[in-house]
Structure 1
Amino acid sequence: MFSYLSPEQRVPQDHPVRMLRRLVDAVLRKLSRRFTAMYAHGGRPSIPPEKLLRALLLQVLYTIRSERLLMEQ
């Protein structure tokens, strides 16, 4: 029925995505100030650029054809 496993528990330790995640974390830390400066102070809340970039990277790696399919998976 319900799964109480975190994504960290589901992904094997030797999976290439883990190495890629460390690299992406380092790059996004460096870009964090730039992303913060881009946010508008008014209007509707947006998708954080860090999350959007991570999702798009996974879309490319797993050859997911559309953003709609990415959200479904």
Structure 2
Amino acid sequence: MRGPDEQTSHMFSYLSPEQRVRADHPLRAIRVMTDRVFAD
């Protein structure tokens, strides 16, 4: 196709889910609870 040569964003992310979810996000508390349940 013709047009300006623009760089697109990257397809892959090299960050882990731990790095992407902020420290005070509610998912972290839910993870603690589910880890306890699955540990039993």
Q: TM-score, normalised by structure 2?
A: 0.68
List, as ranges, runs of 4+ consecutive aligned residues in structure 1 with deviation greater than 2 Å: none
Structure 2 counterpart of 1:10: 20
* Pair 1:21-2:31 in alignment: yes
* Unaligned segments of structure 2, at least 5 residues: 1-9
Aligned pair count? 30
Instruction: Calculate the aligned-residue CA RMSD, in Å.
Output: 0.6
- Percent identity over the alignment? 57
What displacement does 1:4 show? Answer: 0.4
Q: TM-score, normalised by structure 1?
A: 0.39
What displacement does 1:3 show? Answer: 1.2
* Unaligned segments of structure 1, at least 5 residues: 31-73
Relative contact order (alpha carbons < 8 A, sep ≥ 6): 1 or 2 greater?
Answer: 1
